Amino acid sequence: MEKNDTFYKVRPMMRKIKQKCLQHFVPSQGKPIRFGYKVWFLNTDTGYLVNFDLYQGKNPFSNEAHKGAVEKAAAPLLAGGNP
């Protein structure tokens, strides 16, 4: 543990998340990324994380056909609930 690591309490969780992400990362040259993870973050203007959500793909039961992708993702984050 670093002497001045202010994130020492959450560092083990961060390492585990990074490890899991790297396990599923498969680089390929010359091909567009068709599958993967998207994470939407809501931050303050000073950079503090307020809320986040993992994108799970298109919802076939959604009644929000008129909304754009960013609006669909941002609305639950701005509402403050758990999307």
pLDDT tens figures, 26-74: 666 666 666 667 787 888 888 888 888 777 666 666 555 556 666 666 7
1 compared with 80, residue with greater pLDDT: 80
Q: Would 41 be classed as within a structural domain?
A: yes
* Number of domains making up the chain: 1
How many angstroms separate the CA atoms of 45 and 54, rounded? Answer: 21
With respect to residue 70, please indicate whether it lies within any of the assigned structural domains: yes
Domain of residue 16 covers 11-79
Distances (CA, A) of 75 to 8, 26, 39, 69: 33, 31, 14, 10
Cα 73 to the center of its chain, rounded Å:
11
Q: Is the pLDDT of residue 7 over 80?
A: yes
Q: Is residue 17 part of a domain?
A: yes
pLDDT of residue 35: 67
- Confidence bin at 83 (pLDDT 50/70/90): very low
The whole model's pTM is what? 0.38
How far is 42 from 69, CA to CA, in rounded Å? 15
